[in-house]
Structure 1
Amino acid sequence: MGGQQFVTEFSLPGVVDGGIERVNVGSWIGDSIVVLVFYPSDFGPRSGQSAALLRAVDELTGETDARAVGIAPESVYSHRRFAAEADVDVALASDADGSVTEAYGVASTGEAGQVVTERSLFVVDYRGVVVHEWVASDTGAMPEFERLRTRLRSITPDGSARGCYRTGYARYREGRRYLSSGLEHCEAGDWGLAASAFDEASEEFGDATNRFTKGQGLADGDDINENNSRGRVVATKYWEAAEWLAGFATAASKDNVEAREENREAAEQALREVRDVTLPEPDAASKTATGKHHA
């Protein structure tokens, strides 16, 4: 594309989390960073490289406030099979007629006259501006992933209240997942695994607390300020509970009844304080705070 250009928005049929639905990139702009990954085919000669590229991008976007979509001239049914067999978790869009590929300037013509997609990648910031692009120089080329990681982190919105809420919420959800895993290990009497899971949960909740706290200081509206404030309180209580539960599991593994009960009671008290409190998902929080709607 070249230069500082605004993203060409599109809505295509696709596969998201194994289900078939439309992928509307326009609705993502303003709420998250967007990474577009174009690739030639699901099951062609270089499909292994395409899968590796998509998995690597998925890992990088998981570290930042970003969403990714793979785009290829394949049907949604091909995409669904490819995602399952290649362990690809990012959304996949079906650009059957090649119109989106052509709009981004990464289409060529094959021997049979068909549209051939060049492996390429575009990073779009919150304004909808393409701030980074890469096109494979040869069939075996891959992006400089460390450079891509640095670019994504440089525009991750730790400097915005909405961005802090989004990343804090992601860490909070991950903490809840580790907490549930730890409780399951407790029921099975696997105290070492339980303690490890609770330690992971504590780390995630601590990170979430820090993100929400920063978001409070950067709040640009009453609604997002309230969401970050509530997130900080809830994440802090879960953080406390996870630490108490880690102590509970450790004490149980050593058959220290007194310490086990003391930690259990403290954890239960912390969890009771947030049992009925829910946090809105980031998309809902962003729309409430900004009033933005995308076609």
Structure 2
Amino acid sequence: MTTVIGEQALDFVLPSSDGKQVRLSDYKGKNVVLYFYPKDMTPGCTVQACDFRDMSQEFADVNTVVLGVSPDPISSHLKFIEKHGLTFTLLADENQEVANAYDVWKLKKNFGKEYMGIERSTFLMNTDGILVKEWRKVTAKGHADELLAYIKENL
């Protein structure tokens, strides 16, 4: 099963940084930014997360929640949240089930080594849970601004 723009987003349940099990469909009635990132505490992921943190009120003002997903465990997410004062929920996809379902678990190459990891990607669902836009191979810096502009213009 894959994601298809214009159709119901793939639902899932993952453990969250607030100690609950989060189901994507729990957010019907709100726009949802679902962003996949490779690893807590790394430079690009920190830039991206801090941009979302700094714009959290602006996203809330347009009825949008931000959910970050990585394969890191909850314990790592909690340290990441505490260190950077993150104001949104992080989800732990330790078995990469959701990453595979959204086709963001990819073969990557770095310094001549190949490994499996998250391809930084973002999915936007509207208030009815319909996938309206996706961004793949995202550049961390400035992405939150791009998302917010898209939401303001289109949703």
Shorter chain as denominator, the TM-score bin is: 0.7 to 0.9
TM value normalised by structure 1: 0.45
Q: Structure 1's 15 and 137: CA in aligned 2 closer, same or farther, altered over 3 A?
A: closer
Q: Greater CA radius of gyration, 1 or 2?
A: 1
| Count of residue pairs the alignment pairs up | 149
What is the CA-CA distance between 1:112 and the residue it aligns to? 6.6
Equivalent residue of 2:72, what SS?
A: coil
- 2:16 corresponds in structure 1 to 14
Tell me the distance in 1 between the aligned counterparts of 2:129 and 2:97.
Answer: 19
Opposite residue 105 of structure 2, the aligned amino acid is: A
Equivalent residue of 1:46, what SS?
A: helix
What is the CA-CA distance between 1:134 and the residue it aligns to? 1.4
Matches within 5 A, 1:218-229: none
Contact 2:120 2:138 in 1 (8 A): no
- 1:24 corresponds in structure 2 to 23
Greater helix share, structure number: 1
Equivalent residue of 2:143, what SS?
A: coil
- 1:96 corresponds in structure 2 to 94
What is the CA-CA distance between 1:43 and the residue it aligns to? 2.1
Q: Which has the higher contact order (CA 8 A, sep 6+)?
A: 2
Opposite residue 15 of structure 1, the aligned amino acid is: S
Structure 2: tracts of 5 or more residues without a match: none
Opposite residue 6 of structure 1, the aligned amino acid is: Q
- 1:135 corresponds in structure 2 to 136
Greater strand share, structure number: 2
Equivalent residue of 1:136, what SS?
A: coil
- 1:151 corresponds in structure 2 to 150
Tell me the distance in 2 between the aligned counterparts of 1:64 and 1:53.
Answer: 16
Tell me the distance in 2 between the aligned counterparts of 1:33 and 1:82.
Answer: 24
Tell me the distance in 2 between the aligned counterparts of 1:25 and 1:3.
Answer: 16
- 1:47 corresponds in structure 2 to 45
